[in-house]
Amino acid sequence: MGKAKEMLFAQFALIGKALSSPKRLELLELLSQREHSVEALVEKTGLSVANTSRHLQILRDAHLVEARKEGLYVHYRLAHPDVYELFRMLGMLAARQLAEVDRIVELYLSSLDHFDPISRDELMAKAAEGTVVVLDVRPPDEYGSGHISGAISVPIPELERQLSTIPEGKTIVAYCRSQYCILSYEAVSILRRRGRRALRLEGGFPDWKAAGMPVGKGDLE
């Protein structure tokens, strides 16, 4: 039995090893939004092609991601929805157990938005009342693969330019990839500086989808 347990734990450790790199966690966050080619991941992470491919191979060896080839390009996706749940739980555990997480949030994120985010249920209630505008501030390709039903795509680089197109007199709720995705923090900061009422959504789009909340998919609305 001792040998069997050792072999089992070695397999468990393979998952732990795959999660031990900040860059691999970033890749998992991106892949939780949609399938990406290696080239797209290179562009979004700033890694070299060689480093991106190596990180993806480690994730693939641990069966956390899957790949398919289309012509000359290799596309990656999460192997199972539970992989994002593992990513989310890792963040929750780190926030609960590691004081450094709170310090980093306070130092880098709270300066952009020190208010508590709005919950999914609160957003649903306000959307039913017609008192909110929901902004998806992720890149357009991620929005096109799935978004909160009724959300408007306004990527961060375009937010200032498109501000005049966002209805006034309503609270704006911004969301992005995950709980610690800086895009929603930046969006709220920009909106408040321009005199708009703005809040962040608790969590990101994958959390919303996993909770069984209404989603849209396809062309930009």
Query: For a pLDDT cut of 70, what percent of the chain falls above it?
Result: 98
Whole-model pTM? 0.91
Beta strands in 95-164 (DSSP E): 132-136, 147-148, 152-153
- Establish whether 181 is a catalytic residue: no
Evaluate if residue 11 carries a pLDDT over 90: yes
Question: Annotated catalytic residue: which of 47, 109, 176, 191?
Answer: 176
Digit-coded pLDDT (tens) for 78-118? 999 999 999 999 999 999 999 999 999 888 888 888 889 99
Evaluate if residue 39 carries a pLDDT over 70: yes
3 alpha-carbon distance from chain centroid: 39
CATH code for the domain defined by 110-216 = 3.40.250.10
CATH topology of domain 2-84: Arc Repressor Mutant, subunit A (1.10.10)
Domain boundaries, the chain: 2-84, 110-216
Residue reference for tokens 């491919």: 53
Whether 200 and 174 have beta carbons less than 8 Å apart is answered as yes
